[in-house]
Structure 1
Amino acid sequence: MAQNTLSISTSFAAPDVGQETKLPLPRYVSLKAKKANVRRGPGLTYRIDWVFQRRRMPLQIIAEYGHWRRVIDSDDQGGWVHYVLLSGIRTVIVKKDLLALRTNPSETAYVRAKLEENVIARLHDCQGEWCELTADGYTGWAHKSLLWGVGPKTDRI
């Protein structure tokens, strides 16, 4: 009997939805607060490993426990953050310097603006390999592969 228990406990797969919210995992959110303590575990008694200090920064939720969300940033660094510090407003980080923000989702479309690397932009929509963004008052389209904070599937921006 102990042998069956061992095989069950070591062979479970990560859930596709969060146990608290029933929302898809992993999923992207943004940092609502100007500062957020990132803890080693899901609770106030766990040590603070560092502090996120960039409002609107996109984060990926990879686990849930009570009111806590385990998140990672664009550098694959993370930990546990209280859910009130997170927002469903979607943002992305530009991964390429002088990224062309185009008027339409096409390589031949007019360039409306160029975004510097690490700029945070508001994500509106994705169509195929292109995403519509707003940054510093400019709205346009950028290639999805040059952004962090959006999934590879068009149905899960």
Structure 2
Amino acid sequence: MDSMVNETETGKAIDINRIMEMIPHRYPFLMVDKVIGIIPNVSAIGIKNVTINEPFFQGHFPQRPVMPGVLIIESMAQTAAVLVVETLGPSAEGKLVYFMSVDSARFRKPVGPGDQLSVHVFKERSRGNVWKFRAEAKVGETLMAEATYAAMILDN
């Protein structure tokens, strides 16, 4: 078995090195540190360890650091992109995933330094290179944000 991909009780776990082979995002815009419980063509859970060292905290907000909601949505999209590559196989590695729509986005509670954000992504459907997902972002068992979104997978 590849040392970067491990089996868990609920599916595969993929580490940061493998994620960077699968999707083109890089620091400071890589918003997922690992993916656990990945079930190809079904679901995945992305983990983002939120630290005070995140560059966005310098200005959002210095007195009360809050992870921007759009970056929580981006974490959802990147987790979904890993799920897509895992589903489609090596031919999909490094392809770009473009948002087509974000619907029903709700931000329930702020995410801040020290939080571990778990992003639960569920594939709703796919047709050709268009995929639709539903996602929830949680800290522990607390729902922080949720959204449905569509993305198009393209060659770079």
TM bucket (normalised to shorter chain) is under 0.3
- Larger RCO: 1 or 2 (CA < 8 Å, sep 6+): 2
TM-score by length of 1: 0.25
Higher helix share: 2
